[in-house]
């Protein structure tokens, strides 16, 4: 079937040559729509044969069952009972049709025939009513189950994503897996359950029809199957064409969606206008849309052709089944009443069989995406942060780094190499060095965000490897180089530093005052309750420096024994910078502060200064000692001081 598909697609591609779409088609073949590398495993799955697909079905059904069972046991069980009972009601209804025909065909006056048919007719009506009620109950149960499955899948994904080691975010394979799982995997989990339920419903209907036919005459059963094979083939072919079109177009769709979002988003709006990019970007979106439109039309023609062929062949096979039925009646091999019921059951069975072909294909289709989701979950579990039982001391006297080395995943060189240093309680330590010398990485190691591959970090003599990473992080407050702009209120942006503590307004104000944020927060429309996001009504945005002041306030509010400030003043004006350092020094009473900055004037007062170069410590001491040594630090300091003097 695979070859047949590609053959037909090739024919079609040839047919389109010479049309107005020629350029697009060329582009299409030339790689614009070639399969993105991260979809190769999905393509492999999509190209498997019809029989391979059938073999996979039981496993997929089991997975759907497990998903539903874990999400809501009672509803899943109720749903299954409703489905099976509806199937039984169907069978009872069909068998009762025999009685109706029996009554109507008796050799008595018409009123007596009708009277004889009434009990069976009531049974047919009763069975239909019960089946209808059970189907509605099953639909209600499904309506309850589907969102729960979605919720469970989304929560599973987010729980695992936030549990992995930070360095995993730099792993390309994991990030690709996450993209695919988030893009379609969560929805596929819900869809897989929906489609599996649909399949089971149709299967129970088919079993009922097949059971009735087998009772009436066994030869009718294979005829039923024969009639549905062409429709089933057409359904599978059409779905696979659609799935492969999706695989080819996904890169184009993603790019087009990304551009469309940029055109409509607020952040790039000024640059879009400043660089007069509108026409250029609109042209790009138009080009991508044209590619996907032409491909969609091409595939839909192929799909209609397949469906038409399947329907015609199935029509012939159905006609043959009825001819055989007539022959059975003609030759007296079957009672007339049973013949009427058989015609009814054939009709029902054909309907169910073709629905089964469709729903089995949908289960398979969603199963492909669900496999992506499961793959990501397994990968994330294998990369989850270890959680040893130890708890870091509430406060510490000393943090000791011993020959620590750290390399980012896939990086050629370690970002921090063989670093040994000691932080004592109450000290202010400064890390200086050129861009890329490893300061921020060293800070993340101290904060317990990364784990060194070599060397040890001791908290009062206890190896951090033996401590629960969250308990280490509880003791640290970090002002990041690029603090996150949380789309929350100004107050929450500060209290998120210790979200599990009930915060009184005076405490929030004190932290905001320390971070130099109180004044500008009071000027916002709703002061501390102002939502800091332009994406919402009444939301406000802040300048880079104001966001940084909030980040400093957040760290003050966290009130941790170790405060790490990674260029906390990069966006601050001179006065704000002076104030923040003043407060940092006050805060250092009883706490340890690690300061990373390029402003040499700010590090003069530090108890100890470490100079990093290519990940190693090349100089250390206080300001006077380092100036006397006349090394890198002295050069950097003199350079900046002379620049200020010239200014």
Interface with ligand ATP (CB under 6 A) = 170, 408, 411, 415, 433, 435-441, 481
CB of 618 to ligand ATP, least distance (A): 13
CB of 500 to ligand ATP, least distance (A): 29
State the Cα–Cα distance between residues 607 and 584, nearest whole angstrom: 13
Q: At what angle do helices 186-216 and 336-382 cross, to 10 degrees?
A: 160
Nearer to ligand ATP, 153 or 565 (CB): 565
CB of 527 to ligand ATP, least distance (A): 34
CB of 362 to ligand ATP, least distance (A): 40
CB of 411 to ligand ATP, least distance (A): 5
CB of 143 to ligand ATP, least distance (A): 44
What contacts 628, CB < 8 A, 6 or more positions away? none
- 605, containing H or E segment: none
CB of 36 to ligand ATP, least distance (A): 23
Sheet hosting strand 616-621, strand order edge to edge: 476-479, 562-566, 592-596, 428-433, 608-613, 616-621
Nearer to ligand ATP, 3 or 410 (CB): 410
Give the pairing of strands 454-459 and 462-463.
antiparallel
State the Cα–Cα distance between residues 367 and 373, nearest whole angstrom: 10
Nearer to ligand ATP, 181 or 612 (CB): 612
Nearer to ligand ATP, 439 or 623 (CB): 439
CB of 450 to ligand ATP, least distance (A): 10
> Would you list the DSSP string of 10-75?
HHHHHHHTTSTTHHHHHHIIIIITSPPGGGHHHHHHHTS-HHHHHHHHHHHHHHHHHHHHHH-HHH
Nearer to ligand ATP, 106 or 616 (CB): 616
Give the pairing of strands 476-479 and 462-463.
unpaired
The number of residues making up the chain comes to 647
Q: What distance separates the 2 farthest-apart alpha carbons in the chain?
A: 125
State the Cα–Cα distance between residues 199 and 60, nearest whole angstrom: 12
Nearer to ligand ATP, 15 or 411 (CB): 411
Nearer to ligand ATP, 354 or 440 (CB): 440
CA torsion 379-385-387-388 (nearest 10°) is 110
State the Cα–Cα distance between residues 193 and 64, nearest whole angstrom: 5
Nearest to 479 by CA among 497, 495, 458, 464: 497
Nearer to ligand ATP, 177 or 415 (CB): 415
Nearer to ligand ATP, 25 or 437 (CB): 437
CB of 463 to ligand ATP, least distance (A): 23
Nearer to ligand ATP, 338 or 423 (CB): 423
Nearest to 321 by CA among 339, 303, 338, 302: 339
Phi, psi of 118 (to 5 degrees): -55, -50
Distances in whole angstroms, Cα of residue 548 to Cα of each of 31, 483, 542: 44, 7, 10
Phi, psi of 72 (to 5 degrees): -165, 100
Quick one: residue 276, left, alpha or beta (phi over 0 = left, psi -120 to 50 = alpha)? left
CB of 567 to ligand ATP, least distance (A): 7
CB of 554 to ligand ATP, least distance (A): 20
Nearer to ligand ATP, 380 or 440 (CB): 440
What contacts 228, CB < 8 A, 6 or more positions away? 314, 317, 349, 350, 353, 354, 357
Tokens, residue 604: 């003069």
Phi, psi of 524 (to 5 degrees): -70, 160
Nearer to ligand ATP, 39 or 564 (CB): 564
CB of 408 to ligand ATP, least distance (A): 3
């Amino acid at each position: 079937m695979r070859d047949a598909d590609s053959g037909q697609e090739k024919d079609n591609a040839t047919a389109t040559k010479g049309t107005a779409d020629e350029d697009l088609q060329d582009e299409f073949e030339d790689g614009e729509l070639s399969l993105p590398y991260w979809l190769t495993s999905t393509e492999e799955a999509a190209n498997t044969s019809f029989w391979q697909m059938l073999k996979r079905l039981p496993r997929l059904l089991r997975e759907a069952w497990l998903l539903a069972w874990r999400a809501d046991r009672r509803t899943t069980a109720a749903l299954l009972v409703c489905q099976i009972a509806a199937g039984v009601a169907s069978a009872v209804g069909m068998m009762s049709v025999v009685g109706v025909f029996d009554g109507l065909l008796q050799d008595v006056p018409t009123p007596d025939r009708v009277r004889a048919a009434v009990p069976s007719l009531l049974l047919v009506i009763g069975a239909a009513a019960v089946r209808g009620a059970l189907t509605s109950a099953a639909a209600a149960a499904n309506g309850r189950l589907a969102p729960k499955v979605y919720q469970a899948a989304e929560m599973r994904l987010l729980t695992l994503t936030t549990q992995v080691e930070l360095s995993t975010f730099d792993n390309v394979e994991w990030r690709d897996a996450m993209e695919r799982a988030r893009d379609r995997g969560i929805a596929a989990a819900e869809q897989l359950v929906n489609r599996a339920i649909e399949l089971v419903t149709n299967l129970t209907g088919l079993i009922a029809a097949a059971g009735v036919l087998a009772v009436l005459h066994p030869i009718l059963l294979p005829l039923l199957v024969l009639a549905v094979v062409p429709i089933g083939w057409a359904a599978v072919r059409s779905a696979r064409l659609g799935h492969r079109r999706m695989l080819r177009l996904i890169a184009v769709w993603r790019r087009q969606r990304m551009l469309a979002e940029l055109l409509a988003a607020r952040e790039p709006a000024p640059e879009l206008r400043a660089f007069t990019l509108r026409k250029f970007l609109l042209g790009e979106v138009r080009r991508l849309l044209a590619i996907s439109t032409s491909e969609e039309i091409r595939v839909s023609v192929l799909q209609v052709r397949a469906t038409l062929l399947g329907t015609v062949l199935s029509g012939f096979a159905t006609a043959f089944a009825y001819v055989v039925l007539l022959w059975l009646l003609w030759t007296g091999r079957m009672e007339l009443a049973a013949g009427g019921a058989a015609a009814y059951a054939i009709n029902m069975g054909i309907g169910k069989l073709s629905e089964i072909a469709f729903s089995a294909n949908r289960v398979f289709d969603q199963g492909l995406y669900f496999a992506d989701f499961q793959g990501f979950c397994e990968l994330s579990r294998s990369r989850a942060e270890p959680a040893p039982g130890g708890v870091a001391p509430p406060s510490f006297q000393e943090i000791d780094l011993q020959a620590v080395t750290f390399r980012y995943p896939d990086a050629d060189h370690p970002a921090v190499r063989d670093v040994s240093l000691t932080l004592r309680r109450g000290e202010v330590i400064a890390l200086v060095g050129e861009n890329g010398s490893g300061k921020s990485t060293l800070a993340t190691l101290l904060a317990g965000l990364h784990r060194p591959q070599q060397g040890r970090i001791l908290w009062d003599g206890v190896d951090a490897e033996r401590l629960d990473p969250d308990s280490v992080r509880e003791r640290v407050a970090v002002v990041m180089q690029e603090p996150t702009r949380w789309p929350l209120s100004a107050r929450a942006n500060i209290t998120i530093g210790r979200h599990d503590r009930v915060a009184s307004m005076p405490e929030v104000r004190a932290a905001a005052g320390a971070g130099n944020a109180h004044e500008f927060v009071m000027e916002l429309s709703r002061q501390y309750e102002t939502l800091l996001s332009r994406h919402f009504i009444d939301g406000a945005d802040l300048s880079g420096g104001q966001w940084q002041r909030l980040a400093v306030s957040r760290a003050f509010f966290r009130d941790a024994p170790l405060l790490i400030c990674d260029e906390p003043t990069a966006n601050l004006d001179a006065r704000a910078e002076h104030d923040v350092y003043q407060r940092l020094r006050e805060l250092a009473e009883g706490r340890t502060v690690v300061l990373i900055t390029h402003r040499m004037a700010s590090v003069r007062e530090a108890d100890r200064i470490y100079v990093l170069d290519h990940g190693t410590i090349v100089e250390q001491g206080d300001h006077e000692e380092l100036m006397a040594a006349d090394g890198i630090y002295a050069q950097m300091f003199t350079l900046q001081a002379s620049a200020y003097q010239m200014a």
